Amino acid sequence: MAGAIELMTLAAVLAMGRKPGASVDDIKNSLPAVMNNVAELESELAKLEYRPQLYQKLEIDLSIARDKEREDISGDFLVIESIDGDLDVKFNEKTNAAINVYKNRKIITPFDTLYLTNTAQSGKSAVIWIGKGKSFVIDTASKAFYGGEVYVNSDIATADTARRFETSSKKLKDIIIIVKTHDQLFGDSSGQTYPVGAGETFGITQIDISTLYFKNATAGQNGVVHILAVEN
């Protein structure tokens, strides 16, 4: 920009010199006014000078269903500040594998397009920060260390049919399950065959708890099952 300002200053002086009857003193006397005009112009150009945007905030209303909805936004990584629902993201191409996002997750990859997929989840939302280069960083280490909210639940069987703790999606981690009374069988919606005896405990690292089903191992012996976990 400095070179352009110098050329404009020279042009203004030369223009003054070409005026009929202009003397050397006239040119000298005009210089302060020319320099003032140049200074004002330089100030205005500085306001227009491009400054790269190093981060951007993306707020997503998860109550609206999406199927690979396109977001023309570019960056080198993203950080999930908050999310209380379920959301999948694809980078650059619809055909790429979907990545599920959760609170405090950081995904590092260059991209210029996002494709968002989620079911309609009333009252749910997500906040994502988009960063470029290495100039923008959100430290989530402390939050990630302490995890999310505590999840506690209990189930008492009233029949021999399969049951579950949650009927809608809920992501949990560091799960501990205790069969308090009567043997139970655990599995998924298609069948429950994994035996856990009364008084026994088992753990799961991470799961959508709505996909875990269990039932009485022996007909008529209604079991009690407890769960303690951390919400993602």
Average pLDDT over residues 207-219: 96
Going from N- to C-terminal start, the domains of the chain cover 2-48, 55-145, 148-231
Do the domains at 55-145 and 148-231 have one common CATH topology?
Answer: yes
Token output for 34: 């020319």
DSSP string, 47-82: HHS-----EEEEEEETTS-EEEEEE---EEEEEEEE
What fold, for 55-145?
A: Jelly Rolls (2.60.120)
Region of 135 please: left (phi>0), alpha (psi -120 to 50) or beta.
alpha
| pLDDT band per the 50, 70, 90 thresholds, residue 63 | very high
User: What mean pLDDT, rounded, does the chain reach?
Assistant: 81
Query: Each residue of 14-23: b (16+ CB within 10 Å) or e?
Result: eebeeeeeee
- What are the backbone dihedrals phi and psi of residue 2, each rounded to the nearest 5 degrees, phi first? -60, -40
Cβ neighbours for 64, distance < 8 A, ≥ 6 positions apart? 120
Residue 141: predicted pLDDT: 47
Give per-residue pLDDT as tens, 156-196. Answer: 999 999 999 999 999 998 899 999 999 999 999 999 999 99
Q: Which residue has the higher pLDDT, 96 or 163?
A: 163
What fold, for 148-231?
A: Jelly Rolls (2.60.120)
Q: Cα 37 vs. chain centroid, distance in angstroms?
A: 47
Residue 25: predicted pLDDT: 61
Cβ neighbours for 124, distance < 8 A, ≥ 6 positions apart? 62, 63, 83, 84, 85, 86
Residue 33: predicted pLDDT: 63
Residue 174: predicted pLDDT: 87
